[in-house]
Amino acid sequence: MQRQSIVTIIDLGTDKCVTLIAAITPETRELQVIGVSAVPSRGMRKSQIVDLEDVMNTITESLDAAERMAGCEVHSAMISISGTTIASQNSKGVVAVASPTQEITSEDVSRVLEAARAVSLPSAREIIHVIPRDFAVDSQQGIKDPVGMTGIRLESEAHIITAQTTSLKNLSKIVQDLGLQLDGFVFSGLASAEVMLSETEKELGVVLVDIGAGSTSVCAYVEGALTYSGVLPIGARHITQDIALGCRISLDSAEKVKLALSHDPGLNMRPNPGESKEEFKKRQKLEDMLDLQALGIDDSQEPLSKRTLLEGIMLPRMKEMFTLIEKDLQKQHVMTSVPAGLVLSGGGAETVGIVEVAKRTLNLPARVGKPVELKGLIDDIQKPSYATSIGLLIYAAKKHRSTPVKTSIDLSGIFKNVKLGTLPGKITHLVKSLLP
Ligand SMILES: Nc1ncnc2c1ncn2[C@@H]1O[C@H](COP(=O)(O)OP(=O)(O)OP(=O)(O)O)[C@@H](O)[C@H]1O
Ligand SMILES: [Mg+2]
């Protein structure tokens, strides 16, 4: 029998808390999902913890269910972090190449990354990711891997993602109180980008937009490098709230209405061949009323028109969301550098009409992403709302392979495009150089 190691991730969202447990077979480097659980979250608002005890109970419930399914006990886990606690900045590091032969070694690379890490942070913030963007050797810029090259001066640009210390402490406390060892925090937008974006899109310039229930995470890649990460405090739950307010129904009923519309073929009705305009309009009108009884909604005073819901309530809110995203990207000066457009993930990406709104508002291409395929118990998770969870698992698996990595430098940028277990020699040296 082959030996197996276990990795576990907890994706703590506003709407749901997902635990995934996967086995890694060291010989084959294969990742097999053996435990999956998603439970409704309590104690979260806008992707941030507002009630420690509720979150603790939520995670316990999610973890227990996944452990039962996997038939094993979890001792450590990697956890997602999101919300407006997240901020990002780009920084530069410069070092002199140490070797007398001027050949750049992995030690020089780790030194230059450490130098890039030395930024002044606002108080009560901590770095959670340092992602290499680009290297320059003497005056030659745009180098992805400088090891083995010759030069005097080595520069590195890095993308730094930070979070408020309080948020990190709250999460650490919960994980610790659950008796688990913390394998690390991963910004949920970054985790989603890991599994939703292709390398070609990143090279062209692309923006990952993860629309969760309580917030929207954004990661913009320009010329292959992560350039901006941020979180907007608006999510798909706002659409539900608008429906509840507009139709004077409960939030539960509004959620049912929203989900029903997302799967409703009637909204995309086209005239049949030979059908007159009048006939088509009549058929459209007949199809337009929501079947409230079939949805189990009994608190609506009036019949609900699908088109009015979509055009009067949902589309304006989605337009507002993408206008905010556009403003954010303009502020970061990336709007003109992302011709591959937007890739949407998160549960909100499944909202009816969202791709069209995204395209029209930002005047860029847009598509709903599809997470990379995993093996094992994956039927329920191969959808946009699980992008963060799957991305976290891939992160955890990569970290597991290179543990124990002493620094908190994020090697994902270096690992990109590298198949598990097939790291090239130069990179392996770099990883080894970071080991204690
Ligand atoms: N098929 C669907 N159609 C429309 N909306 C959907 C669909 N599936 C999920 N959603 C919406 O997506 C949201 C949940 O998304 P997701 O599971 O990504 O959130 P989360 O990760 O729990 O929250 P966050 O990341 O914001 O903290 C809910 O508002 C839900 O209504
Ligand atoms: Mg989420």
User: Which domains does the chain possess?
Assistant: 87-164 (3.30.1490.110)
pLDDT in tens, 375-413: 887 888 889 999 999 999 999 998 876 543 333 334 443
Q: Is the CB of 328 under 6 A from ligand 1?
A: no
Return the pLDDT at 286: 81
Residue with tokens 């920084």: 91
- The reported pTM is 0.89
Q: Give the chain's mean pLDDT.
A: 89
Determine the 3-state secondary structure of 318 from DSSP.
Answer: helix
Residue scoring higher pLDDT (270 or 246): 246
Instruction: Decide: 40 and 16 in contact? Cβ < 8 Å.
Output: yes
What burial letters (b/e) apply to 349-358, b meaning 16+ CB within 10 Å? bbbbbbbebb
pLDDT(300) > 90 = no
Q: How far lies 224's CA from each of 87, 101, 189, 336, in Å?
A: 20, 31, 16, 15
pLDDT in tens, 311-348: 999 999 999 999 999 999 999 999 999 999 999 999 99
Q: Is the CB of 385 under 6 A from ligand 1?
A: yes
Cα-trace Rg, the chain: 24
How far is the centre of ligand 2, averaged over its atoms, from the C-alpha of 84 (Å)? 13
Task: Select from 369, 371, 88, 340 the least CA-distant residue to 222.
Answer: 340
Q: Quick one: CA dihedral 349, 355, 357, 360, positive or negative?
A: positive
Return the pLDDT at 378: 80
Instruction: Decide: 52 and 174 in contact? Cβ < 8 Å.
Output: yes
Return the pLDDT at 423: 34
pLDDT(180) > 60 = yes
pLDDT in tens, 352-364: 999 999 999 999 9
Return the pLDDT at 134: 92
273 by Cβ neighbours in 10 Å (0-12 / 13-18 / 19+) ranks as exposed
State which ligand 1 atom lies nearest to the alpha carbon of 11: 21
Determine the 3-state secondary structure of 179 from DSSP.
Answer: coil
Residue 72 DSSP class: S
pLDDT(428) > 70 = no
pLDDT(281) > 60 = yes
102 by Cβ neighbours in 10 Å (0-12 / 13-18 / 19+) ranks as middle
- The HSE-up count of residue 47 (CA atoms within 13 Å, CB side) is 31
Which residues have CB atoms below 5 A from the ion given as ligand 2? 13, 212, 388
pLDDT band at 7 (very low <50, low <70, confident <90, very high): very high
The predicted model gives 268-283 an average pLDDT of 85
